[in-house]
Amino acid sequence: MIAIAGLIALGGCSKSPTDKAADNVRAAADNVADNIEAAASNTASNLQNQAAAVTNAAENRADAVRNAAENRADRMESNHH
């Protein structure tokens, strides 16, 4: 008896071909929108990583310049005494 009631309920819920097509359009658009959001997130993450790499490289270069100047100044002072 429960099985018959379930089949009757399913029969009453059947969608027309137009409704099914509309659902497919919505689902496809949702998938495209999700992909756009994921691509934007990945791009932003990659840009943040690149920015961090540039910052780190600049800091390393600045440290190298300071260290070279300090070493040169130390040599100058030690040779002067």
Give the pLDDT confidence of 58-74 residue by residue, as tens digits.
999 999 999 999 999 99
pLDDT at 80: 74
Residue-by-residue DSSP string for 3-67 = HHHHHHHHHHTPPPHHHHHHHHHHHHHHHHHHHHHHHHHHHHHHHHHHHHHHHHHHHHHHHHHHH
pLDDT at 10: 52
Could you tell me the residue ranges of all domains in the chain? 19-80
pLDDT at 14: 85
pLDDT less than 50: residues of the chain? none
Q: Are 15 and 23 in contact (CB under 8 A)?
A: yes
